[in-house]
Protein backbone atom coordinates (compact mmCIF):
# COMPACT_ATOMS: atom_id res chain seq x y z
CA UNK A 1 0.00 0.00 0.00
CA UNK A 2 2.37 2.59 -1.22
CA UNK A 3 1.93 6.15 -2.26
CA UNK A 4 1.27 6.34 -6.01
CA UNK A 5 4.21 7.61 -8.07
CA UNK A 6 2.32 10.67 -9.30
CA UNK A 7 1.66 11.75 -5.69
CA UNK A 8 5.37 11.33 -4.87
CA UNK A 9 6.22 13.59 -7.81
CA UNK A 10 3.79 16.24 -6.55
CA UNK A 11 5.18 15.93 -3.01
CA UNK A 12 8.72 16.48 -4.33
CA UNK A 13 7.79 20.11 -5.04
CA UNK A 14 4.73 20.65 -2.81
CA UNK A 15 6.27 19.32 0.37
CA UNK A 16 3.80 18.43 3.13
CA UNK A 17 1.19 21.07 2.23
CA UNK A 18 -2.48 20.11 1.95
CA UNK A 19 -3.36 18.33 -1.30
CA UNK A 20 -6.96 17.89 -2.45
CA UNK A 21 -7.10 14.42 -3.99
CA UNK A 22 -9.82 12.34 -5.61
CA UNK A 23 -10.89 9.17 -3.85
CA UNK A 24 -13.24 6.38 -4.86
CA UNK A 25 -15.14 3.91 -2.68
CA UNK A 26 -16.92 0.78 -3.89
CA UNK A 27 -19.88 -0.81 -2.14
CA UNK A 28 -20.00 -4.25 -3.75
CA UNK A 29 -23.00 -6.54 -3.39
CA UNK A 30 -23.22 -10.17 -4.46
CA UNK A 31 -26.33 -12.01 -5.70
CA UNK A 32 -27.26 -12.83 -2.09
CA UNK A 33 -27.24 -9.15 -1.08
CA UNK A 34 -24.05 -9.47 0.96
CA UNK A 35 -21.53 -6.62 1.01
CA UNK A 36 -17.79 -7.07 0.37
CA UNK A 37 -15.47 -5.65 3.04
CA UNK A 38 -11.75 -5.64 3.62
CA UNK A 39 -9.91 -5.49 6.96
CA UNK A 40 -7.34 -2.76 6.37
CA UNK A 41 -3.66 -3.50 6.96
CA UNK A 42 -2.98 0.06 8.17
CA UNK A 43 -5.70 0.20 10.87
CA UNK A 44 -6.78 -3.41 11.38
CA UNK A 45 -10.42 -2.31 10.95
CA UNK A 46 -13.04 -3.54 8.51
CA UNK A 47 -14.12 -1.05 5.85
CA UNK A 48 -15.34 -0.69 2.29
CA UNK A 49 -12.96 -1.00 -0.65
CA UNK A 50 -11.46 2.14 -2.16
CA UNK A 51 -8.50 3.98 -3.57
CA UNK A 52 -7.14 6.86 -5.61
CA UNK A 53 -7.65 7.18 -9.38
CA UNK A 54 -4.58 7.12 -11.60
CA UNK A 55 -4.13 10.28 -13.71
CA UNK A 56 -6.77 10.26 -16.46
CA UNK A 57 -8.63 7.26 -15.01
CA UNK A 58 -12.40 7.54 -14.79
CA UNK A 59 -13.80 7.12 -11.24
CA UNK A 60 -15.96 4.08 -12.10
CA UNK A 61 -12.93 2.38 -13.64
CA UNK A 62 -11.01 3.12 -10.44
CA UNK A 63 -13.74 1.47 -8.35
CA UNK A 64 -13.68 -1.71 -10.45
CA UNK A 65 -9.86 -1.79 -10.51
CA UNK A 66 -9.48 -1.26 -6.76
CA UNK A 67 -12.01 -3.99 -5.95
CA UNK A 68 -10.13 -6.48 -8.11
CA UNK A 69 -6.67 -5.42 -6.91
CA UNK A 70 -7.63 -5.69 -3.24
CA UNK A 71 -10.09 -8.62 -3.26
CA UNK A 72 -9.83 -10.58 -6.57
CA UNK A 73 -13.57 -9.97 -7.05
CA UNK A 74 -14.70 -8.76 -10.46
CA UNK A 75 -17.49 -6.21 -10.39
CA UNK A 76 -19.32 -3.61 -12.42
CA UNK A 77 -20.11 -0.11 -11.19
CA UNK A 78 -23.87 0.53 -11.32
CA UNK A 79 -24.33 4.05 -10.01
CA UNK A 80 -22.92 6.87 -7.90
CA UNK A 81 -24.48 6.81 -4.43
CA UNK A 82 -22.51 9.50 -2.60
CA UNK A 83 -20.11 12.39 -3.14
CA UNK A 84 -18.40 13.89 -0.08
CA UNK A 85 -15.42 16.03 0.79
CA UNK A 86 -13.75 14.29 3.73
CA UNK A 87 -11.99 16.00 6.60
CA UNK A 88 -8.29 16.67 6.03
CA UNK A 89 -5.88 14.02 7.34
CA UNK A 90 -2.26 14.35 8.41
CA UNK A 91 -0.12 11.26 7.87
CA UNK A 92 2.72 10.28 10.25
CA UNK A 93 5.30 11.71 7.81
CA UNK A 94 3.56 15.12 7.95
CA UNK A 95 1.83 14.94 4.56
CA UNK A 96 -1.62 16.55 4.57
CA UNK A 97 -4.42 15.38 2.26
CA UNK A 98 -8.13 15.96 1.85
CA UNK A 99 -10.06 13.47 -0.26
CA UNK A 100 -13.12 14.11 -2.39
CA UNK A 101 -14.79 10.70 -2.22
CA UNK A 102 -17.07 9.38 -4.94
CA UNK A 103 -18.84 6.21 -3.82
CA UNK A 104 -20.22 3.67 -6.30
CA UNK A 105 -22.72 0.88 -5.81
CA UNK A 106 -21.21 -2.14 -7.56
CA UNK A 107 -22.39 -5.64 -8.42
CA UNK A 108 -20.06 -8.64 -8.20
CA UNK A 109 -19.83 -10.59 -11.46
CA UNK A 110 -17.02 -13.06 -10.77
CA UNK A 111 -13.94 -14.05 -8.81
CA UNK A 112 -13.53 -15.44 -5.31
CA UNK A 113 -13.07 -12.99 -2.45
CA UNK A 114 -9.54 -13.22 -1.04
CA UNK A 115 -6.73 -10.94 0.04
CA UNK A 116 -5.16 -9.95 -3.27
CA UNK A 117 -2.57 -7.33 -2.23
CA UNK A 118 -0.83 -5.90 0.83
CA UNK A 119 -3.59 -3.38 1.69
CA UNK A 120 -5.85 -5.91 3.45
CA UNK A 121 -5.44 -8.40 6.26
CA UNK A 122 -8.71 -10.13 5.40
CA UNK A 123 -11.54 -9.91 2.87
CA UNK A 124 -15.06 -11.28 3.33
CA UNK A 125 -18.71 -11.05 2.35
CA UNK A 126 -21.12 -9.97 5.09
CA UNK A 127 -24.91 -9.95 5.26
CA UNK A 128 -26.15 -6.40 5.72
CA UNK A 129 -27.78 -7.38 9.02
CA UNK A 130 -24.54 -9.00 10.25
CA UNK A 131 -21.81 -6.45 9.57
CA UNK A 132 -18.65 -6.34 11.68
CA UNK A 133 -17.86 -3.18 13.63
CA UNK A 134 -17.54 -0.39 11.06
CA UNK A 135 -16.79 3.32 11.21
CA UNK A 136 -19.29 5.97 10.16
CA UNK A 137 -17.50 6.34 6.80
CA UNK A 138 -18.38 2.77 5.77
CA UNK A 139 -21.81 2.70 7.41
CA UNK A 140 -23.02 5.83 5.61
CA UNK A 141 -21.86 4.49 2.25
CA UNK A 142 -23.46 1.08 2.73
CA UNK A 143 -26.72 2.72 3.88
CA UNK A 144 -26.82 4.93 0.79
CA UNK A 145 -25.99 2.03 -1.54
CA UNK A 146 -28.98 0.10 -0.17
CA UNK A 147 -31.44 2.82 -1.19
CA UNK A 148 -32.74 3.97 -4.54
CA UNK A 149 -32.43 7.55 -3.33
CA UNK A 150 -30.67 10.14 -5.49
CA UNK A 151 -26.93 10.60 -5.02
CA UNK A 152 -26.26 11.78 -1.46
CA UNK A 153 -24.22 14.90 -0.79
CA UNK A 154 -23.95 17.32 2.10
CA UNK A 155 -26.34 20.20 1.52
CA UNK A 156 -24.98 23.69 1.11
CA UNK A 157 -25.61 25.76 4.22
CA UNK A 158 -28.19 28.51 3.86
CA UNK A 159 -26.82 32.04 4.05
Question: Rounded to whole angstroms, how far apart are CA atoms 150 and 159?
Answer: 24
Per-residue pLDDT of 104-155, as tens digits, reads 999 999 999 999 999 899 999 999 999 999 999 999 999 999 999 999 998 8
Question: Rounded to whole angstroms, how far apart are CA atoms 89 and 138?
Answer: 17
1: pLDDT strictly greater than 60: no
Q: Map residue 99 onto helix, strand or coil.
A: strand
DSSP state of 152: B
Question: Rounded to whole angstroms, how far apart are CA atoms 142 and 29?
Answer: 10
83: pLDDT strictly greater than 60: yes
64: pLDDT strictly greater than 70: yes
Half-sphere exposure of 63 (CA within 13 A, CB side): 25
Contact, 82 vs 90, CB < 8 A? no
Contact, 126 vs 32, CB < 8 A? no
Q: pTM (2 decimals)?
A: 0.93
Amino acid sequence: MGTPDFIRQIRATAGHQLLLLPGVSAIVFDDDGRVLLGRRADTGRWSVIGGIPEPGEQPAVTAVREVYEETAVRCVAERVVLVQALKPVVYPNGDECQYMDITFRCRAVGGEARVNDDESLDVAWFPVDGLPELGEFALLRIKQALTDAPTWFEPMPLR
